[in-house]
Structure 1
Amino acid sequence: MVRVYFHLYNNTFLKKRESKMKKFKLFPLLLVFCLVLAAFAPSAAALDEPELNAKAAVLVDLNTGRVLLSKNAEEPRSMASLTKIMTVLLAIESVERGEHSMDETVTAQSDCQTGMDEDSSSAYIMEGEQMSFKDLLYCALVHSANDACNVLASCISGSIDAFVEQMNQRAAELGCTNTVFADPNGLSSENHSTAYDLYLISAEAINHPDFMTICNTAEYTVPATNLSEAREFSNSNALISSRSIYGWGAYLYEYAAGVKTGFTQAAGYCLVSTAEKEGVRTLAVVMGCDGNGNAGIDEYKNFDDSIKLYNWVFDHFSYRTILTTQDPIQKAPVTLAKGDGTVTLQPQADVNLLLPTDLDSGALSTSVTLYEEKLVAPIAAGTVLGEAKLTIDGQDYGTVKLVNSAEVELARGEYLKQRLAAVFSNGWVIAAILIILVLGGIYIALVIRYRRLRKKHLRQRRLMEQRRRAEQERLYKQSREGSGDEYFTGEEPAVDYTDTDDYWK
């Protein structure tokens, strides 16, 4: 009976123990499995970019100039009528310089139809027709009229070729490195640029109020001229115009403003536009998109892609203050400074960045570069001493200037030490000091010798005076003793002083 009970107890105990061991062995396996999943899981900061039809694109934060998305943005491509952005920019700059005025009457020359064919977008301007400078700008940018660009070019520079040279010069000034203009309207296949270069040109253009007003106009009427009745035009930009030939209102986007469409078979469908929502200002460039004219589809992907980009940034990004002017960045040593001999570097201004909403800004790292190899006191408060490169999760977010918030005072004791050390480090100074010391030693020796001789002279003079008086007293006594009642005549007998000690030796 006891054996049976022991056998049953032993079997039960062993089964429970085996069960616990199995559970214990499964735990590390589950832990390893979880770690593997965590390693391959996407990071919170890894924001998926939208899929684009465009062959090249760039999306930029206009407030900071930081690129938020880039796709083949440095790849040169045909740009079609996006060329007109530079043409109108130069025209408006000439008005701002006072070379032309918006109300100026311009007469179309014989070159107004240069490079055009029957399919070219046109305002049907004829040679000899007179139109205001302002109306030509609206024709070029709103209706994308190629002939209006030719008229503007001749008016501004005297010829189309001279204007094209000016276009290329201005592009270089704006930092464009892969842009070539061959005409003022984009009809030539030799015109090419990149998405990023077009951002540089467009960012400059939209800073001019007249440019932004014109490119954001949905409809415009050109008054009658000497050769034509009034003309009514609609903007081809379907993001802002319900009467655009592209979609007839299908692509209206409430946050969009400007800028310019473009299309040729070589360039595909292109668009430069801007959009702003809740303080987030962005500019998008898309190039080489599909549409009805080149892909036989009923969509225009340049507008689709632009809307995708704007929704993506508005849905997933927000401005955040990652640094304030009170945040200490780094301490730097300062020569001759009072106190601990350092200065605290702080941002010159608050740093607000457009960041993905799920990005941990606490992962910010800074790399400081000082403008001077050695900082020396005194330093006035607010002096720009360097800059800090900002990086979050390995991505560069630009730089911020660094200043000292408080004055760095001069430690005068240290200053004097340094000046003395600098003086005595010069060989000629040491030589001069040695000469002065030698001359000073000679002078002191001469003074000592002079004083010794003078003391000797005075001592001998006193001695002679004592001898003379003693001799006088002796003679006086002798005269009294030898003459009886005779009085002393007062004449002193001659005294020979030749026996005195060497007087002048």
Structure 2
Amino acid sequence: MSEIDMKKIKIFPVILLLCLFFSVLSPAALALDDPAVTAKAVLLADADSGRVFFSQNADERVYPASLTKIVTVFLAVEAIERGDVLPTDEITCTAACLEGMAEDGSTANIAVGETMTLEEYLYCAMVESANEACNVIAEYIGGSIPNFVQMMNERAAQLGCTGTHFTNTHGLPDENHYTTANDVYLITMEAIRQDLFMEICNTVKHTVPATNMSETRELSNTNGLINSDSPYYRGYYYEYARGVKTGHTSAAGYCLVSTAEKDGMHLLAVVMGGTGKENADGSLTYGNFVDTIALYNWVFNNFSMQEILGSSELVCEVPVAMGSDGDSVTLRPKDVVVALLPNDVELSGFERDIVIYSEQSGETLAAPIAAGAVLGEITVSKDGVVYGTASLVASTSVELSKIQYMKEQVGTALNLVWVKIIFWILIIILVAYALLIIRYRTLHKRHQKEARRARQELEKRREEEEMTRIFGVDENRRGPKPPQENGSKADGGPRMDYFSREDVSGRHTVKIGTTIPGNDQAKRDYFEEFFRRNQEDEPQEEKQKRK
């Protein structure tokens, strides 16, 4: 073996070890690094779903500074939406609204006795960050400033805030005036759903009309992300940013709440307790803006909107009763489910939770079912985080089988208590009727038998009476006939011996007609006369029996 071959053999195991090493470390190597931020408390979330992408000390107590104005304006907008107040309502600033104002605090120089509309006060509070404007708003809506502050705390609690307590409407320093990044996120998520709120806080420039005590005011938004000419924070303009509010005090540091939109991604960033670093030229680098831009770029560069559930995907089959063309229906998502996910995420790792409404309620799904009918829902999640929910609809229609439907209706009807009662009542009636019919027929046959016997006895008596009438004596009681000579009776009467015994007895009287001249009509007349006479001669007692 040559020296070259030996070197190849030695190198081959090394290559295998390196491949194994990188294959083991590849998930960690490909894992997305957290964004580098310097602020005390940070939270970055999807503004549509509320899913948090990154947080740092989000539940630690911090001072909000002018971020407090988000709550003040939000409550005012809600009052407008409820119809409690109107944006055009004119409000006059009172002396109480200027109490406790800091000399170096942000202001719109609103004077006692000055009147402007509620809408203009809202712009002064959010765009110019005027402290006194917040008090005017609070006094008008809450009846008094302390009462409005109580409303602020109550609303924060309703939104799930657990680390927040307000003592004023504007955010000037107070050790009992505090919050957390997570609570600010909860409040802001609710506030940005209001169109009027977003319209005001995303305004770069605004002109306040002249009032009874002032010329027109030109307001310029303090948020350098949306206003390149910000009076305080220039150089941080970010083209994807939308609103919301800046804040700063010595105790709170540099704070910023903002939103940004790009390629279908909608983000919300909360940065609190940022630092201000002095540069060599004497300018300051504001950590709240630096961190915010870093957070947005981190998502926009490494995340994207991805489809995790298609609307054409056949999810499951559900049994269907009384279907004419099948015993099941296939369900599909009504809408596409998309989520903001890391670009390297493995979509096969998502879990699906399917709920079928008929199974959930314990009912039987029955035809007819129209295509597109909502029959359930599906939720897509991963590691306990829900990424989306969609309704499940029938992919095809299922027609009703009339035969199956009739069977089902009959079966359902027979299971009803009142139907069962009626059914058994009818059965009892039918059985009773059948017994009555049987009894009637039995009695009728007995009656017929007795009637036949009675008729036979009656006919026999008639025959005897007829023979008695003809011969003048009852044959049964008559003695032997006297001898006759030459075919004539002893009394010299006419001969009657041409009538035999058989001719005049029983039912054979018809033979009489054989020796009596005449046609068929004559025979009928005879018999009619015969039976009519018999009926006339019938005893009254027998007639009553026949009746």
> Are 1:447 and 2:437 counterparts?
yes
The equivalent position to 2:110 in structure 1, one of 121, 125, 147, is 125
Query: Judging changes above 3 Å, is the alpha-carbon distance between structure 1 residues 336 and 52 closer, same or farther for their aligned structure 2 residues?
Result: farther
Query: Judging changes above 3 Å, is the alpha-carbon distance between structure 1 residues 369 and 496 closer, same or farther for their aligned structure 2 residues?
Result: closer
* Paired position in structure 2 for 1:155: 140
* Paired position in structure 2 for 1:377: 366
Inter-partner Cα distance in structure 1 for 2:242 and 2:540: 130
- Higher alpha-carbon deviation: 308-317 or 223-232: 223-232
Inter-partner Cα distance in structure 2 for 1:20 and 1:470: 144
* Paired position in structure 2 for 1:73: 58
1:333 Cα offset (Å): 3.2
RMSD of Structure 2 on Structure 1 (CA): 3.9
- Is the CA contact 1:80–1:263 (under 8 Å) kept in the aligned structure 2? yes
1:380 Cα offset (Å): 4.7
Structure 1 residues 36-185: aligned runs within 5 Å: 36-42=21-27, 46-185=31-170
1:347 Cα offset (Å): 1.4
Inter-partner Cα distance in structure 2 for 1:222 and 1:431: 82
- Is the CA contact 2:338–2:388 (under 8 Å) kept in the aligned structure 1? no
- Is the CA contact 1:246–1:300 (under 8 Å) kept in the aligned structure 2? no
1:196 Cα offset (Å): 3.6
Inter-partner Cα distance in structure 2 for 1:209 and 1:436: 70
Query: Judging changes above 3 Å, is the alpha-carbon distance between structure 1 residues 21 and 243 closer, same or farther for their aligned structure 2 residues?
Result: closer
Query: Judging changes above 3 Å, is the alpha-carbon distance between structure 1 residues 496 and 252 closer, same or farther for their aligned structure 2 residues?
Result: closer
> Are 1:481 and 2:505 counterparts?
no
> Are 1:263 and 2:267 counterparts?
no
Q: Deviations over 1:182-217 (max 9, x none)?
A: 221122333333334333432343344443333223
How many residue pairs match? The answer is 481
Partner secondary structure for residue 42 of structure 1? helix
> Are 1:403 and 2:393 counterparts?
yes
> Are 1:217 and 2:217 counterparts?
no
The equivalent position to 1:390 in structure 2, one of 368, 380, 398, is 380
Inter-partner Cα distance in structure 1 for 2:238 and 2:419: 79
* Paired position in structure 2 for 1:8: none
1:251 Cα offset (Å): 1.2
- Is the CA contact 1:78–1:190 (under 8 Å) kept in the aligned structure 2? no
Partner secondary structure for residue 77 of structure 1? coil
1:452 Cα offset (Å): 1.4
Query: Judging changes above 3 Å, is the alpha-carbon distance between structure 1 residues 36 and 62 closer, same or farther for their aligned structure 2 residues?
Result: same
Q: Deviations over 1:242-283 (max 9, x none)?
A: 333544x22111221211011233332211112222333222
- Is the CA contact 2:241–2:259 (under 8 Å) kept in the aligned structure 1? yes
Structure 1 residues 229-308: aligned runs within 5 Å: 230-247=216-233, 249-292=234-277, 298-308=284-294
Query: Judging changes above 3 Å, is the alpha-carbon distance between structure 1 residues 24 and 429 closer, same or farther for their aligned structure 2 residues?
Result: farther
- Is the CA contact 1:82–1:262 (under 8 Å) kept in the aligned structure 2? yes
- Is the CA contact 1:189–1:266 (under 8 Å) kept in the aligned structure 2? no
Inter-partner Cα distance in structure 2 for 1:20 and 1:445: 112
Q: Which runs of 5+ in 2 are unaligned?
A: 474-492, 497-529
- Higher alpha-carbon deviation: 386-395 or 316-325: 386-395
- Is the CA contact 2:339–2:388 (under 8 Å) kept in the aligned structure 1? no
- Is the CA contact 1:261–1:270 (under 8 Å) kept in the aligned structure 2? yes
Residue type of the alignment partner of 1:457: H
1:55 Cα offset (Å): 2.8
Inter-partner Cα distance in structure 1 for 2:97 and 2:318: 64
TM-score (norm 2): 0.75
TM-score (norm 1): 0.81
1:238 Cα offset (Å): 1.6
Structure 1 residues 355-366: aligned runs within 5 Å: 355-366=341-352
Inter-partner Cα distance in structure 1 for 2:113 and 2:240: 41
Inter-partner Cα distance in structure 2 for 1:286 and 1:141: 18
The equivalent position to 2:451 in structure 1, one of 450, 461, 475, is 461
1:153 Cα offset (Å): 0.8
- Is the CA contact 1:331–1:342 (under 8 Å) kept in the aligned structure 2? yes
Identity of aligned residues (%): 46
